[in-house]
Amino acid sequence: MSPNTKVSRQQWIDTSFGLLAEGRDPGIEPLSNLWELMGVTKGSFYAHFPGGRHELHREIITKWLQDSPAANLSTVLPTVRDPADRLRLLWAQLTKNGRRDDTMRRWATHDAAAGDAVGAVDAEIIQHANQALGDLGFAGDEAAVMAAFLVSAAAGVYRTPEPKPRRYRLANPAAFETLLAVLTRAELMQVLADGDQEVEVTAGAAPDEVVLFTIAKGLPPAARRDLAARAQKFARQAATGDQPPGRPASRRRAGA
pLDDT, tens only, 209-235: 667 666 777 778 888 788 778 877 776
> Using N-to-C axis directions, what is the helix angle for 140-156 and 98-108, rounded to 10°?
100
List Cα–Cα distances, 25 to 18, 64, 95, in angstroms.
Answer: 11, 13, 19
Q: CB–CB of 208/239 below 8 Å?
A: no
Walk across the sheet containing 251-252 and list its strands: 197-203, 209-216, 166-169, 251-252
Residues 16-42: what's their mean pLDDT?
A: 87
What residues does each domain of the chain span? 9-63, 68-252
pLDDT digits (tens, 9 = 90+) for 121-170: 988 998 998 898 888 888 777 788 778 777 777 766 443 434 455 555 55
Contacts of residue 79, defined as CB under 8 A and 6 or more positions apart, other chains included, come to none
Q: CB–CB of 170/75 below 8 Å?
A: no
Is the model's pLDDT at 58 over the cut of 90?
yes
User: Helix H segments across 136-172?
Assistant: 140-156
Q: CB–CB of 188/88 below 8 Å?
A: yes
Mean pLDDT, the chain, rounded, equals: 75
